[in-house]
């Protein structure tokens, strides 16, 4: 199964509502496979301390909006409803719904991972590796 979570940046930056921390506590079997906050940090490091004027941008609004984008987290969780596993689909869904109800997260999806998703994730991994100069 794949779990996708969307959380507002201010919630992500708050230690008591940080979705990564909540997932570690509530659903420890879930393995993090993507955290968009890492993407944003890399972009900011590449830009350095550049101001909008340094970048030739007259209006700083577009830059400010990209910093405030919500965080997207993606997890893989194996063993749901498999004989002998302690991970139950109903429990996983209930914990995610509780995070949503308490407004710790903005949205979530829990879906069965299919072969197409595996292929797409593998292709993304190879593309990002090639961009970083890692041989395939």
Residue 136 makes CB contacts below 8 A (sequence gap 6+) with 126, 129, 130
Task: Decide if 20 is inside a domain.
Answer: yes
Task: Decide if 55 is inside a domain.
Answer: yes
Q: What is the pTM of this model?
A: 0.68
State the total domains in the chain: 1
Residue among 108, 109, 112 at smallest CA distance from 82: 112
pLDDT in tens, 16-31: 999 999 999 999 999 9
Task: Decide if 136 is inside a domain.
Answer: no
Residue 78 makes CB contacts below 8 A (sequence gap 6+) with 1, 29, 31, 87
40-49, 100-109, 110-119: lowest mean pLDDT where? 40-49
Residue 16: its pLDDT value, please? 95
């Amino acid at each position: 199964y794949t779990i996708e979570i969307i959380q507002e940046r201010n919630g992500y930056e708050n230690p008591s509502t940080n979705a990564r921390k909540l997932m570690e506590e509530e659903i420890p079997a879930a393995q993090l496979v993507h955290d968009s906050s890492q993407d944003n940090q890399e972009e900011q490091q590449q830009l350095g301390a550049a101001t909008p004027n340094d970048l030739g941008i007259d209006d700083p609004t577009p830059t400010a909006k990209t910093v405030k984008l919500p965080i997207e987290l993606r997890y893989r969780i194996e063993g749901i409803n498999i004989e002998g596993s302690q991970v139950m689909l109903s429990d996983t869904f209930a914990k995610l719904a509780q995070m949503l109800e308490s407004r710790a997260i903005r949205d979530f999806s829990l879906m069965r991972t299919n072969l197409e998703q595996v292929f797409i994730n593998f292709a993304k991994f190879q593309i990002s590796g090639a961009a970083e100069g890692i041989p395939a």
